[in-house]
């Protein structure tokens, strides 16, 4: 594996250096890749100081993908973790959960219930309605607010046909099948309109069975840890058991969406949209694998989003563009829990209603400056309850506290401004600032009268500076420095929930997380080559970490709420969120070849990327939990554009990850033999892996596309670092 890695690194470096060296002599034609995430307005990604990756509609149509997180596999600087099938949580520059911001059609998907670790919420965006995804790596709070510490994932859904003169309809049907989990997917819809009115409407159905990993077994140990083996007849320790097919991992999903656009006049549009996702009976497999639970299901896992958007281009004096959005989003999340050998079934239901208002304006100041400014307001209202049923006595107890106290509330209001300045023909600077005010409120007396009504407010001021300097035509150097922050959420301050190895408990005494960092990069675009290289450093202050409540209340009386949780969960520790006194440092290198065309064979191109991430917990003098391993992708593509035929082979890989935090060593999702981090364990690491894959397709007509592929050709058994399920076998 190490030899493969060194060869790959050498290949990427040579491609980058050689193509940089021909910039001065080669004429460069510009194949623009227009993005909006870096500056909140359309701009060629080559001319932005940000590190941005784009998943285009062509990329999406060529892949057989079950969930939206799967789309991010292979993207530079990103690792996708899966606690169970049907979900997925992207790590961007070493951070995930509520430290990475997700936006859908300009509306914030993140809400106050997002937790610190991997979560399932990106999977509640239907992958079949997506047109494009932009991933901006690095601090984004100046433009996008709280949570954008690791980066911003900006999802754009499909829009209806434009420039319609008469009545027009375009029906569409798509189907997908995956053999490793017998996954069946179907989508039907119609795109149409009449004169200034247009619409697109569709529905998706997914039915996925239990996952078949590659050849070999998971050896599950009584310590709640496991080992991976490719042997057909392995020797297993006493008390251990073998897992071949991972059961239960099947799930079901139904989605529907509609988007209506009315063109009031040239440059003036109003848009109304709705998205609905219904996931049913999604099992949390890692809790079944260890035999801790007889039942642990996410049911339901629903999301509804409705928004009204108004856009005006050059319609108001002194304002070049205006966008106003009113949104309503509902996250309806339930869990059904029954521990092994328990006579108690707990049903938790949390409904989060989020109202949002946003306004963005842009004004040109002469020919060399553009100012973008605006504001946002989001308000969360929670309806939460739990129902506990004793299966022996049929006694039912209902409490106004599911994972959160009923009636909890969170809101934040923001204002921002950005100035794009063209200093010279080859030098541009982008300055930005944002002010945020937030407040959290919840009644903790439901579980402990001593806490009473919790109310906390705060604010944050962030800024950023980005510079793009053109050395020669086709070679830009980039530099940026910026800040980010994350307001303490309801998940930090009020939640009682099951995590991977503990029970989290409320702690209302928290400060915002804050970060500051730099990014240095180079972007190359020539006749035959497009690529980027970046180095970044990010320091997080007041980082929120989880600590055992017994360590906090050593010499003082423990509040009732914590003692009750300890008594009810004797086989698990109880933790609370805590601001660390020492910072967390994250740094890394990202090298990407977006496309390298062979000069004498322009139909053949190569692509690849490599990501190196280091996350250091200064207080503990150890890696931060779930540090991303060195990972990347390498591929060769043949694209016969005139014949509309394409084919590619590629390999995704990750190196062995043995840089583990103490919590990683006890995490049942990371291989090892003991869950005691104080003991030496030579098997405590996630093995390195690679997959060989091939796919091909043909555009039969303007209306139809057929693609086929084989993933993991060698049927290798592997697990992506920190995941609760293995990767699919030959698929």
- For residue 711, pLDDT beyond 90: yes
CB-CB contact of 512 with 492 (8 Å)? no
Cα–Cα distance, 569 to 61 (Å, whole number): 47
State the DSSP code for 13: H
Q: What pLDDT was estimated at residue 561?
A: 86
Name the residue with higher pLDDT: 507 or 272: 272
Measuring CA to CA, which residue among 647, 626, 663 is closest to residue 696?
647
Query: Which pLDDT band, with edges at 50, 70 and 90, does 30 fall under?
Result: very low
* Domains parsed from the chain with CATH numbers: 2-158+170-710 (2.40.170.20)
Cα–Cα distance, 630 to 633 (Å, whole number): 11
The torsion region of residue 395 among left (phi > 0), alpha (psi -120 to 50) and beta comes to: beta
Could you report the per-residue pLDDT of 318-331, keeping only the tens digit for each?
999 999 999 999 99
Query: Which pLDDT band, with edges at 50, 70 and 90, does 602 fall under?
Result: confident
Average pLDDT, stretch 455-471? 96
- For residue 260, pLDDT beyond 80: yes
CB-CB contact of 405 with 423 (8 Å)? no
Query: Which pLDDT band, with edges at 50, 70 and 90, does 503 fall under?
Result: confident
Tell me the residue ranges of DSSP E strands in 570-688: 573-579, 584-598, 601-617, 622-623, 631-640, 645-654
Could you report the per-residue pLDDT of 333-357, keeping only the tens digit for each?
999 999 999 999 999 999 999 999 9
For the chain, give the percent of residues with pLDDT over 90.
Answer: 75
Q: What pLDDT was estimated at residue 13?
A: 55
Tell me the residue ranges of DSSP E strands in 247-318: 251-265, 268-280, 282-283, 293-316
Query: Which pLDDT band, with edges at 50, 70 and 90, does 23 fall under?
Result: very low
Average pLDDT, the chain: 92
- For residue 29, pLDDT beyond 60: no
Collapsed DSSP state (helix, strand, coil) of residue 68 = coil
- For residue 10, pLDDT beyond 80: no
* Lowest-confidence pick of 206-215, 405-414, 590-599: 590-599
Burial of 359 (0-12, 13-18, 19+ CB in 10 A): middle
Q: What pLDDT was estimated at residue 164?
A: 59
Measuring CA to CA, which residue among 402, 451, 482, 466 is closest to residue 149?
482
Q: What pLDDT was estimated at residue 619?
A: 78
Query: Which pLDDT band, with edges at 50, 70 and 90, does 31 fall under?
Result: low
Query: Which pLDDT band, with edges at 50, 70 and 90, does 33 fall under?
Result: confident
Cα–Cα distance, 24 to 94 (Å, whole number): 36
Q: What pLDDT was estimated at residue 2?
A: 52
SS3 content of the chain, % helix, strand, coil (to 5): 10, 55, 35
Could you report the per-residue pLDDT of 532-585, keeping only the tens digit for each?
999 999 999 999 988 888 888 888 888 888 888 888 887 778 888 889 989 999
Query: Which pLDDT band, with edges at 50, 70 and 90, does 21 fall under?
Result: very low
- For residue 588, pLDDT beyond 70: yes
Q: What pLDDT was estimated at residue 701?
A: 76
Q: What pLDDT was estimated at residue 448?
A: 85
Residue bearing tokens 């239901």: 349
Q: What pLDDT was estimated at residue 28?
A: 37
Collapsed DSSP state (helix, strand, coil) of residue 378 = strand
Q: What pLDDT was estimated at residue 664?
A: 93
- For residue 93, pLDDT beyond 90: yes
Average pLDDT, stretch 444-473? 92
* Lowest-confidence pick of 2-11, 607-616, 664-673: 2-11
């Amino acid at each position: 594996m190490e030899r493969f890695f060194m060869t790959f690194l050498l290949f990427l470096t040579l491609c980058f250096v050689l193509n940089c060296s021909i910039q001065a002599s080669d004429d460069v034609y510009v194949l623009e890749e227009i993005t909006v995430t870096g500056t909140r307005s359309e701009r060629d990604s080559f001319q932005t100081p940000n590190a941005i990756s784009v998943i285009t509609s062509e990329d999406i149509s060529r892949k057989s993908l079950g969930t939206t997180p799967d789309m991010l596999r292979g993207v530079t600087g990103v690792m996708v973790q899966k606690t169970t099938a049907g979900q997925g949580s992207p790590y961007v520059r070493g951070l995930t959960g509520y430290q990475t911001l997700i936006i859908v059609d300009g509306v914030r998907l993140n809400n106050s219930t997002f937790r610190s670790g991997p979560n399932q919420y990106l999977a509640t965006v239907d992958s079949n309605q997506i047109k494009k995804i932009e991933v901006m790596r690095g601090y984004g709070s100046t433009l996008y607010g709280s949570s954008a510490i690791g980066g911003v994932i900006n999802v754009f859904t499909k829009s209806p046909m434009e420039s319609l003169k008469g009545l027009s309809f375009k029906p569409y049907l798509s189907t997908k099948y995956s053999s490793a989990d017998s996954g069946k997917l179907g989508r039907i819809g119609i795109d149409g309109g009449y004169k200034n009115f247009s619409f697109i409407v569709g529905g998706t159905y997914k039915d996925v069975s239990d996952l078949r990993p590659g050849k070999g077994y998971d050896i599950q140990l009584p310590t709640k840890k496991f080992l991976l083996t490719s042997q057909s007849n392995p020797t297993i320790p006493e008390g251990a058991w073998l897992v071949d097919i991972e059961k239960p991992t099947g799930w079901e999903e139904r989605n529907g969406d509609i988007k209506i656009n009315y063109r009031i006049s040239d440059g003036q549009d109003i848009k109304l949209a709705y998205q609905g996702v219904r996931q049913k009976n999604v099992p949390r497999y890692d809790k079944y694998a260890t035999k801790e639970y007889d039942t642990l299901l996410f049911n339901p896992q629903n999301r509804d989003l409705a928004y009204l958007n108004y856009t005006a281009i050059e319609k108001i004096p002194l304002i070049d563009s205006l966008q106003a959005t009113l949104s309503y989003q509902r996250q309806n999340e339930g869990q059904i829990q029954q521990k092994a050998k328990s006579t108690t079934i707990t049903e938790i239901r949390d409904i989060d209603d989020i109202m949002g208002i946003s306004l963005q304006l842009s004004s040109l100041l002469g020919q060399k400056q553009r100012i973008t400014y605006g504001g946002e307001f989001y308000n969360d209202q929670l309806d939460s309850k739990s129902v506990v049923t004793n299966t022996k006595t049929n006694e039912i107890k209902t409490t106004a506290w599911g994972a959160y106290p009923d009636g909890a509330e969170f809101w934040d209001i923001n204002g921002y401004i950005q100035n794009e300045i063209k200093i010279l023909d080859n030098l541009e600077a982008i300055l930005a600032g944002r002010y945020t005010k937030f407040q959290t409120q919840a009644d903790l007396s439901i579980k402990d009268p001593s806490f009473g009504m919790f109310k906390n407010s705060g604010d944050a001021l962030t800024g950023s500076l980005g510079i793009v300097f053109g050395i020669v035509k086709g070679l830009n150097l980039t530099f940026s420095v910026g800040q980010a922050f994350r307001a303490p959420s309801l998940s930090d301050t009020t939640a009682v929930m099951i995590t991977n190895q503990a029970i989290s408990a409320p702690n209302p005494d928290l400060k915002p997380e804050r970060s500051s960092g730099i990014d240095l990069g180079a972007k190359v675009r020539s006749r035959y080559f497009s690529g980027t290289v970046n180095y970044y450093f990010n320091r997080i202050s007041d980082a929120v970490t989880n600590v055992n409540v017994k360590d906090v209340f050593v010499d003082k009386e423990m509040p009732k709420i914590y003692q009750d949780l300890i008594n009810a969960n004797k086989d698990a520790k109880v933790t609370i969120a805590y601001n660390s006194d020492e910072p967390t440092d994250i740094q890394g290198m990202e090298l990407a070849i977006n496309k390298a065309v062979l000069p004498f064979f322009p139909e053949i191109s190569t692509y690849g990327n490599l990501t190196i991430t280091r996350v250091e917990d200064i207080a503990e003098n150890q890696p931060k939990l779930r540090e991303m391993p060195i990972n990347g992708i390498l591929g060769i593509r043949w694209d016969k554009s005139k014949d509309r035929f394409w084919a590619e082979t590629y390999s995704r890989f990750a190196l062995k990850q043995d840089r583990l935090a103490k919590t990683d060593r006890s995490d049942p999702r990371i291989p090892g033999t003991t869950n005691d981090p104080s003991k030496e364990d030579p098997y405590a690491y996630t093995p390195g892996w690679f997959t060989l894959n091939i796919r091909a397709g043909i555009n039969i007509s303007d209306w139809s596309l057929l693609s086929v592929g084989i993933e993991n050709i060698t049927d290798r058994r592997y697990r992506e670092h920190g995941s609760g399920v293995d990767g699919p076998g030959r698929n």
